[in-house]
Amino acid sequence: MDFDRALVAAVFDFAGRKGWRATSVAAAAREAGLDLGRARLRCPGLGAVLMRFGQLADAAALRDAPATGPARDRLFDMLMRRIDVLQAHREGMLALLRALPADPRRAMLLACLSQRSMGWMLEAAGISARGPLGALRSKALLGVWLWTLRAWQGDESADLGATMAALDTALRRAEQVALSIDCGARRGGTPADPEPAPADQGPEPDPATASAPPPEAPGPDPLRPGG
Protein backbone atom coordinates (compact mmCIF):
# COMPACT_ATOMS: atom_id res chain seq x y z
CA MET A 1 0.00 0.00 0.00
CA ASP A 2 2.77 2.45 0.90
CA PHE A 3 4.59 1.62 -2.32
CA ASP A 4 1.43 2.18 -4.35
CA ARG A 5 0.88 5.55 -2.72
CA ALA A 6 4.48 6.53 -3.39
CA LEU A 7 4.23 5.44 -7.03
CA VAL A 8 0.96 7.31 -7.59
CA ALA A 9 2.45 10.42 -5.99
CA ALA A 10 5.56 10.13 -8.18
CA VAL A 11 3.50 9.87 -11.38
CA PHE A 12 1.33 12.88 -10.56
CA ASP A 13 4.32 14.93 -9.43
CA PHE A 14 6.10 14.12 -12.70
CA ALA A 15 2.99 14.98 -14.75
CA GLY A 16 2.53 18.24 -12.88
CA ARG A 17 6.02 19.35 -13.85
CA LYS A 18 6.38 17.91 -17.36
CA GLY A 19 2.85 17.36 -18.62
CA TRP A 20 0.78 14.22 -18.86
CA ARG A 21 1.83 13.29 -22.39
CA ALA A 22 5.49 13.29 -21.35
CA THR A 23 4.81 11.07 -18.34
CA SER A 24 5.52 7.36 -18.03
CA VAL A 25 5.44 5.06 -15.01
CA ALA A 26 9.08 4.09 -15.53
CA ALA A 27 10.32 7.69 -15.78
CA ALA A 28 8.36 8.78 -12.71
CA ALA A 29 9.47 5.77 -10.66
CA ARG A 30 13.11 6.20 -11.66
CA GLU A 31 13.11 9.88 -10.77
CA ALA A 32 11.52 9.12 -7.38
CA GLY A 33 14.05 6.37 -6.62
CA LEU A 34 11.40 3.61 -6.61
CA ASP A 35 12.17 0.04 -7.61
CA LEU A 36 11.33 -0.28 -11.32
CA GLY A 37 10.62 -4.00 -11.13
CA ARG A 38 8.09 -3.52 -8.39
CA ALA A 39 6.58 -0.55 -10.20
CA ARG A 40 6.13 -2.74 -13.28
CA LEU A 41 4.33 -5.38 -11.25
CA ARG A 42 2.07 -2.96 -9.42
CA CYS A 43 1.21 -0.50 -12.23
CA PRO A 44 2.38 -1.56 -15.70
CA GLY A 45 0.96 1.56 -17.35
CA LEU A 46 -0.61 4.93 -16.69
CA GLY A 47 -4.09 3.45 -16.88
CA ALA A 48 -3.28 1.19 -13.95
CA VAL A 49 -1.94 4.18 -12.02
CA LEU A 50 -5.19 6.05 -12.59
CA MET A 51 -7.26 3.09 -11.47
CA ARG A 52 -5.17 2.71 -8.34
CA PHE A 53 -5.46 6.42 -7.66
CA GLY A 54 -9.22 6.14 -7.97
CA GLN A 55 -9.31 3.26 -5.51
CA LEU A 56 -7.25 5.25 -3.03
CA ALA A 57 -9.52 8.28 -3.48
CA ASP A 58 -12.62 6.17 -2.91
CA ALA A 59 -11.09 4.53 0.14
CA ALA A 60 -10.40 7.97 1.62
CA ALA A 61 -13.97 9.07 0.87
CA LEU A 62 -15.53 5.94 2.34
CA ARG A 63 -13.32 5.67 5.41
CA ASP A 64 -15.37 6.62 8.50
CA ALA A 65 -18.18 7.79 6.23
CA PRO A 66 -21.14 9.10 8.28
CA ALA A 67 -23.75 6.39 8.84
CA THR A 68 -26.59 8.73 9.73
CA GLY A 69 -27.99 12.06 8.61
CA PRO A 70 -29.52 13.32 5.35
CA ALA A 71 -28.23 11.55 2.26
CA ARG A 72 -27.28 14.89 0.67
CA ASP A 73 -25.06 15.79 3.62
CA ARG A 74 -23.40 12.38 3.58
CA LEU A 75 -22.70 12.62 -0.14
CA PHE A 76 -21.31 16.12 0.33
CA ASP A 77 -18.90 14.85 2.98
CA MET A 78 -17.68 11.90 0.90
CA LEU A 79 -17.28 13.82 -2.35
CA MET A 80 -15.31 16.57 -0.61
CA ARG A 81 -13.01 13.87 0.78
CA ARG A 82 -12.40 12.74 -2.79
CA ILE A 83 -11.65 16.34 -3.73
CA ASP A 84 -9.14 16.51 -0.88
CA VAL A 85 -7.26 13.56 -2.41
CA LEU A 86 -7.19 15.32 -5.78
CA GLN A 87 -6.05 18.53 -4.09
CA ALA A 88 -3.02 16.70 -2.64
CA HIS A 89 -1.91 16.03 -6.26
CA ARG A 90 -3.35 19.20 -7.74
CA GLU A 91 -0.78 20.05 -10.43
CA GLY A 92 -0.64 16.51 -11.77
CA MET A 93 -4.41 16.18 -11.78
CA LEU A 94 -4.81 19.49 -13.62
CA ALA A 95 -2.28 18.25 -16.18
CA LEU A 96 -4.36 15.11 -16.65
CA LEU A 97 -7.61 17.02 -17.08
CA ARG A 98 -5.97 19.30 -19.64
CA ALA A 99 -4.79 16.26 -21.62
CA LEU A 100 -8.11 14.39 -21.67
CA PRO A 101 -9.77 16.31 -24.56
CA ALA A 102 -7.04 15.03 -26.87
CA ASP A 103 -7.45 11.46 -25.61
CA PRO A 104 -11.19 10.65 -25.98
CA ARG A 105 -10.81 6.91 -25.46
CA ARG A 106 -9.18 7.37 -22.08
CA ALA A 107 -11.64 10.12 -21.20
CA MET A 108 -14.59 7.81 -21.91
CA LEU A 109 -13.03 4.98 -19.95
CA LEU A 110 -12.38 7.20 -16.96
CA ALA A 111 -15.91 8.57 -17.11
CA CYS A 112 -17.32 5.03 -16.95
CA LEU A 113 -15.02 4.07 -14.09
CA SER A 114 -15.85 7.28 -12.26
CA GLN A 115 -19.53 6.44 -12.56
CA ARG A 116 -18.80 3.17 -10.79
CA SER A 117 -17.10 5.16 -8.04
CA MET A 118 -20.27 7.22 -7.74
CA GLY A 119 -22.16 3.98 -7.18
CA TRP A 120 -20.01 3.34 -4.13
CA MET A 121 -20.73 6.83 -2.83
CA LEU A 122 -24.48 6.30 -3.26
CA GLU A 123 -24.48 2.97 -1.47
CA ALA A 124 -22.45 4.44 1.39
CA ALA A 125 -25.06 7.21 1.69
CA GLY A 126 -27.88 4.66 1.92
CA ILE A 127 -29.07 5.13 -1.68
CA SER A 128 -29.42 2.08 -3.90
CA ALA A 129 -27.11 1.97 -6.91
CA ARG A 130 -28.52 -1.37 -8.11
CA GLY A 131 -30.64 -2.03 -11.16
CA PRO A 132 -31.65 0.37 -13.94
CA LEU A 133 -32.76 3.11 -11.57
CA GLY A 134 -29.54 2.75 -9.61
CA ALA A 135 -27.59 3.24 -12.84
CA LEU A 136 -29.51 6.48 -13.44
CA ARG A 137 -28.66 7.64 -9.93
CA SER A 138 -24.98 6.89 -10.55
CA LYS A 139 -25.08 8.90 -13.77
CA ALA A 140 -26.76 11.75 -11.93
CA LEU A 141 -24.12 11.78 -9.24
CA LEU A 142 -21.43 11.63 -11.93
CA GLY A 143 -22.93 14.84 -13.33
CA VAL A 144 -22.68 16.38 -9.86
CA TRP A 145 -19.05 15.24 -9.62
CA LEU A 146 -18.11 16.65 -13.02
CA TRP A 147 -19.71 19.98 -12.17
CA THR A 148 -17.75 20.05 -8.92
CA LEU A 149 -14.52 19.22 -10.75
CA ARG A 150 -15.08 22.18 -13.06
CA ALA A 151 -15.32 24.48 -10.05
CA TRP A 152 -12.29 22.84 -8.41
CA GLN A 153 -10.12 23.41 -11.50
CA GLY A 154 -10.49 27.15 -11.13
CA ASP A 155 -10.57 27.28 -7.33
CA GLU A 156 -7.20 28.41 -5.97
CA SER A 157 -8.45 29.32 -2.51
CA ALA A 158 -7.03 27.61 0.57
CA ASP A 159 -10.43 26.54 1.86
CA LEU A 160 -11.85 25.47 -1.55
CA GLY A 161 -14.91 27.58 -0.84
CA ALA A 162 -16.00 27.82 -4.48
CA THR A 163 -15.70 24.06 -4.87
CA MET A 164 -17.82 23.39 -1.80
CA ALA A 165 -20.43 25.91 -2.98
CA ALA A 166 -20.63 24.26 -6.42
CA LEU A 167 -20.99 20.80 -4.89
CA ASP A 168 -23.70 21.96 -2.48
CA THR A 169 -25.65 23.64 -5.29
CA ALA A 170 -25.44 20.60 -7.58
CA LEU A 171 -26.54 18.22 -4.82
CA ARG A 172 -29.50 20.43 -3.90
CA ARG A 173 -30.63 20.59 -7.52
CA ALA A 174 -30.30 16.83 -7.82
CA GLU A 175 -32.37 16.35 -4.69
CA GLN A 176 -35.11 18.69 -5.98
CA VAL A 177 -35.30 16.80 -9.28
CA ALA A 178 -35.40 13.48 -7.43
CA LEU A 179 -38.25 14.60 -5.18
CA SER A 180 -40.24 15.93 -8.13
CA ILE A 181 -39.88 12.71 -10.13
CA ASP A 182 -40.61 10.56 -7.08
CA CYS A 183 -43.83 12.48 -6.35
CA GLY A 184 -44.91 12.16 -9.98
CA ALA A 185 -44.25 8.43 -9.95
CA ARG A 186 -46.32 7.97 -6.79
CA ARG A 187 -49.25 10.00 -8.17
CA GLY A 188 -49.19 7.82 -11.26
CA GLY A 189 -49.32 4.68 -9.17
CA THR A 190 -45.94 3.49 -10.37
CA PRO A 191 -43.51 2.11 -7.83
CA ALA A 192 -40.58 4.49 -7.52
CA ASP A 193 -37.90 1.81 -7.34
CA PRO A 194 -39.33 -1.43 -8.79
CA GLU A 195 -36.17 -3.25 -9.79
CA PRO A 196 -35.22 -6.30 -7.70
CA ALA A 197 -31.80 -6.35 -6.11
CA PRO A 198 -29.38 -8.79 -7.79
CA ALA A 199 -27.47 -11.39 -5.84
CA ASP A 200 -24.32 -9.29 -5.54
CA GLN A 201 -24.31 -6.43 -3.06
CA GLY A 202 -23.35 -2.99 -4.24
CA PRO A 203 -21.34 -1.87 -7.26
CA GLU A 204 -18.30 -3.74 -8.54
CA PRO A 205 -15.23 -2.80 -6.46
CA ASP A 206 -12.92 -1.27 -9.03
CA PRO A 207 -13.54 2.49 -8.93
CA ALA A 208 -11.30 4.97 -10.71
CA THR A 209 -10.66 8.64 -10.65
CA ALA A 210 -10.44 11.59 -12.98
CA SER A 211 -13.13 12.29 -15.51
CA ALA A 212 -14.01 13.50 -18.95
CA PRO A 213 -14.43 17.26 -19.40
CA PRO A 214 -17.52 18.40 -17.48
CA PRO A 215 -20.84 19.12 -19.19
CA GLU A 216 -22.25 22.58 -19.69
CA ALA A 217 -24.54 22.16 -16.68
CA PRO A 218 -24.86 19.57 -13.94
CA GLY A 219 -28.27 18.40 -15.16
CA PRO A 220 -28.54 15.68 -12.46
CA ASP A 221 -31.00 12.83 -12.74
CA PRO A 222 -32.88 11.31 -9.77
CA LEU A 223 -30.87 10.82 -6.59
CA ARG A 224 -33.48 9.78 -4.10
CA PRO A 225 -32.90 7.34 -1.24
CA GLY A 226 -33.82 3.76 -2.06
CA GLY A 227 -33.46 0.22 -0.79
What's the CATH number where 117 sits?
A: 1.10.357
pLDDT of amino acid 65: 87
Residue 148 lies in a domain: yes
Please give the C-alpha separations between residue 26 and each of 17, 22, 99, 128, in angstroms, as whole numbers.
Answer: 16, 11, 19, 40
What is the residue-level pLDDT of the chain in tens, covering all 227 positions? 799 999 999 999 999 999 999 999 999 999 999 999 999 999 999 999 999 999 999 999 999 888 889 999 999 999 999 999 999 999 999 999 999 999 998 898 789 889 999 999 999 999 999 999 889 999 999 999 999 999 999 999 999 999 999 999 999 998 887 776 655 545 654 444 444 444 444 444 444 444 444 444 444 444 545 44
Examine residue 195 and state whether it is found in any structural domain, yes or no. no
Using an 8 Å Cβ cutoff, are 123 and 129 in contact?
yes
The span from the first CA to the last CA of the chain, in angstroms, equals: 33
What does the pLDDT read at residue 72?
A: 93
In a domain, 152, yes or no: yes
Segments in the chain forming alpha helices (H): 2-18, 25-31, 36-42, 46-62, 71-88, 90-99, 104-124, 131-153, 161-187
The one-letter amino acid at 151: A
pTM over 0.85: no
Q: What is the pLDDT of residue 221?
A: 42
| Boundaries of domain holding 88 | 50-187
pLDDT of the residue at 223: 56
Q: Say if CB 147 and CB 218 are below 8 A apart.
A: yes
pLDDT value at position 64?
A: 86
Domain count, the chain: 1
132 contacts 138 by C-beta, under 8 angstroms: no
What confidence score (pLDDT) does residue 207 get?
A: 40
pLDDT at 209: 43
Classify residue 202: in a domain, yes or no.
Answer: no
Q: What is the pLDDT of residue 186?
A: 58
Contact (Cβ atoms closer than 8 angstroms) between residue 198 and residue 130: yes
CA distance 61 to 173: 22
In a domain, 24, yes or no: no
Question: Does 208 map to a domain?
Answer: no
94: CB partners within 8 A, 6+ apart: 16, 153
Residue 126 belongs to a domain:
yes
> What pLDDT, on the 0 to 100 scale, is given for residue 121?
96
Cα 225 from Cα 114, distance rounded (Å): 20
